[in-house]
Structure formats: C-alpha cells, structure tokens
A and B are shown apart, each in its own frame.
Chain A
C-alpha cells in the first residue's frame, strides 16, 4: 500500500468514523438514561438523510434551513417513539423492549419506503463538490463538513452533559433513577429528552454524510450496528473512548475493505462480537457472576 493510499484510508476512515461517533453517542445517551438499547437508532440517521432529500425535492429552501428542519423533525420522531412505544412498556423485560424498538425500526423503514422513496437518493454537497489533496489523500469539502459538524456536535454533547443543569439531570438519572426523582428530577421527561438528543445526533450524522454516500431507506441497520460497536467499546459511558472507538472502527473498515472488499460488513461485525465478548468476559471475572 502506498503512503497516498494509506493517507486516503485514514482520512476516509476518519470521516466515516465521525458519523459512527454521532450514532454511538446516541446509543450511549439513551442506554445510560433509560437502560434501553434503541435498535431504531440507525433509522434516525436514515431519516435525517431522507427527510432532507424530501424537503429539498419539494421546496427550494437553502441547505442550512433544510438541515435545521430535518434535525428538528427527526428529533420529534425520537420523542414520539419514546412516548408511544417505549413509555407504555417501561417495566417490561429486556426482550420485550428489544422487540419493540425493532418493531419501531421496521415501522419507520416501511413508512419511509412507502411515502418517500425506496431508491437511493442524492443530496447535494453543502458547499459544492470542491476537493483538494492533503498528503496524497483526496479531501472533499463535504468530508470536512462531516468532521467539522461531528466535532461540534460531540463537543456540544459533552458540554451539555457536564456543564448544564439538564445535563446533570440526565447524568443523575443514568446513575440512579429513584434517587434522581427524589431530588425532583422528572425521570420520564429525562427519558424523552435522551431519545430527543439521540435522534438529533443521528439525524445530524445522516444529513452530513448523505452527500458523500447515497442515502437510502436501508442504510439504518448497518450504520446502527457500527454505532453500537463504537458505543460498546466505550462501555456506553466513556465519551472519549466511544469517540476513539468510532474513529478507530471507521479506519479499520477502510483498511480491511482495501484487502477484503466485500467482507467489510463482516469485519465490522467480527469486531463487534470480539469486543462484546471480551467485555462480557471481563465483566464476568470482575464480579465473578453475571
């Protein structure tokens, strides 16, 4: 592999990894606040792209407005998901909740496929298709948008959690819900808020990446999977580790894809399983039990 190619893989991996980081943080916030893995997380990403396409296709609004409207719309979908599908089943066993979020994800996919489009649809780059070369890698303006917006979002997310009252409330819920509510925090609202945030993060990711890779109703599953791997690497709680894991996964995929092209999916998943099993094994020896 030449150094040019290496640089390219690194850079593309970084771009993809930024997307994965957003998805992963979405998983992290819902899991830590509600204890639920939202299998529909990937669909928020897909919705971001698809809503944007729909708005662009039917109006002549500028991309910034489309971005904003799409993120808000998807955030609302996240809120609806929590209120209508998750909250009624709050005390059900884990298996039930998993099935519910799976049901939600295929419901969302079905509706998008039916009412927007089943095909791959294009979104134009935010500031045109310009590109330049850095260390032999081709860097497009859009990929800079991806990395930039992802960076801003991750930092914003981090600041939200650590510096604001709301963030503290969210963190309190993730540590101990009962104590949090005794302190006057409305745990149900925090649940809804966590879904809102994770939907927003997913949507942001979906919109910025859409110009680089066609967006289509089917992308949610594999993207969600990769976001989950990254979140698992960080144990769902360690933000820097999650981001590092996401970027690492993006790069690993590119490098692996270079050698075993079609097995890219299998690589991400192989990584997933290895990480999960090692973590589970580590957890097991730590407590000596479950």
Chain B
C-alpha cells in the first residue's frame, strides 16, 4: 500500500437540505503537490474545513497518517500536523507581521498564563525560540524585512505570503492552501510556484485549491476534480485536461 498521508472515505457534509460534499473518497500521497480544482460551489473549501476539523462530517471517515481523526479536535489536528490558509487570508488585526507568524508557533509551544504572568524561565526560553522560528519562516517567504509592519497594512499579495508563513510556522506535514494564487499578478504567481516547490522540499505535502489552470499545470503532480460535491476525476494535470467529464463540467468557463 502506498504511503498516503491523507485519506477520505465516503465523506459527506450536508447543511440541512444542502449537500456540500457528497460521498467523496480520495487518497493523497505524502510529499506531493496536489491540486483540487472544480467549478465554483463544487465543495472545495468545505472539504478543507472538514479536513481541518472546522466542520464535523455528516458521514464518512478522515484518515491522517493512517490514524482515524474524525473525533480529533481542530486544535489537536494542528498539533498532529495539518495547517491551512484561507481564501480571505484572515491575518490577525492589531498585530505586526512577525506577531502573526508567531501565532503560528502556538501549537509548538506551551507556556501558559501562569508562566507568562510570572515571567518564569520557560516563558523566556520559549519566547526566544518562537521569535527565532517565526523569523525563519518569514524569511522563507521572503518578507523578513517587514517583520515590524502592521500586518493588515501590507499589500494583498504579501498578506497572502504572510498567511502561508503563519501556516508553515506550525511545522505541518500537510499544508492546505485555499486559493493561494487568487488576486496575484503573473510575477507573484511565479514566486508562489517557486515557494510551493521549496515547501515540498521541506518534506511537506501541499494540497491547494486553485482556479488558475496554468499554475495548476506547472506545480501540481496530481489533480483532483470536484463538481457539485462529488469527485469527478483525478489524474495528472495532462490527463485531467483531456478528460471529457471535466471539460463538460467546465463548459462556459475560460480557464481550460
């Protein structure tokens, strides 16, 4: 059996009468870059929310590193190694760029209220380590010099990178990126593709939701296509482009 880092079995999510994800089963190989594509409303973000534990599935199983994680809480899943970014970025307000990335270290540190209040030695040690690690990840996305800027005052494209740094700071094994390329210009998209390859080199599995087919063609080693909450097809980018079902689903869209 191949080394699958993430497996979904018959996953279903219904909101009252609306079925967002219907009977999806898939496997993600470790340390690959996988793209999840599909028309709007196909259930891609819902899928992410299910994997991270933000939503509870109506039915089905989620396996992470061969462990069933259905009953594992969302914060615990971060500890286990699942991290994500959001379509709307959601950087924290009233915080600097570096502080935002430092929050990413939350799951890798432990000093609580008491250590903080009394400034015990463990607090100081951890703060140093948190700051160092956060700086490292900020440098990885190339924004080290903006550490002290107010995070929400940064340009859109750079905010997206900061969000990725924040997610990386939790040392994930699986990184879920929700439309990382949306709203970026060609140059920024190229930088993003390079960043994704660097992330893969760190041993991390990357799953990204994307609409830009050029980008998907360039970075994705495997593509999964969703439509109306179901898995329509999967394969390499080249295979997907030729798949009749996929073409039919996208009829009317410009991307293909």
Contacts and interface: CB of A to CB of B under 8 A. Distances in A.
- The answer to whether any beta carbons of A and B sit under 8 Å apart in the complex is yes
**In the complex, which of the residues B13, B15, B49, B56 has the most CB atoms of chain A within 10 Å of its own CB atom?**
B56
A103 B54 CA distance: 36
A289 B16 contact: no
Interface stretch (A30-38, A148-156, A265-273, A280-288): A280-288
Interface residues of B, number: 8
Contact of A285 (B13, B16, B56): B56
B17 to A, nearest CB: 12
Per DSSP, are chain A's interface residues mostly helix, strand or loop, or mixed? Answer: helix
Nearest to B54: A289
B49 to A, nearest CB: 7
Interface in B30-61: 49, 54-57
Interface in B41-90: 49, 54-57
A287 B49 contact: no
A166 B54 CA distance: 39
A287 B57 CA distance: 9
Interface string B93-108: 0000000000000000
B16 A286 contact: yes
Interface in A243-290: 285-289
Nearest to A287: B15
A259 B41 CA distance: 56
Contacts of A287: 15, 55
B57 A288 contact: yes
A281 to B, nearest CB: 13
A289 B15 CA distance: 11
Interface string B1-23: 00000000000010110000000
Contact of B49 (A285, A286, A289): A289
A289 B16 CA distance: 14
A283 to B, nearest CB: 11
Contacts of B15: 286-287
Nearest to B57: A288
Contacts of A285: 56
Contacts of B57: 288
A289 B48 CA distance: 13
Nearest to B74: A289
A289 B52 CA distance: 11
5 A-B pairs closest in CB distance: A288-B56, A288-B55, A289-B54, A289-B55, A287-B15
Interface of A: 285-289
Given A286-B15, A289-B49, 12 more contacts: A285-B56, A286-B16, A287-B15, A287-B55, A288-B13, A288-B54, A288-B55, A288-B56, A288-B57, A289-B54, A289-B55, A289-B56
14 contacts: A285-B56, A286-B15, A286-B16, A287-B15, A287-B55, A288-B13, A288-B54, A288-B55, A288-B56, A288-B57, A289-B49, A289-B54, A289-B55, A289-B56
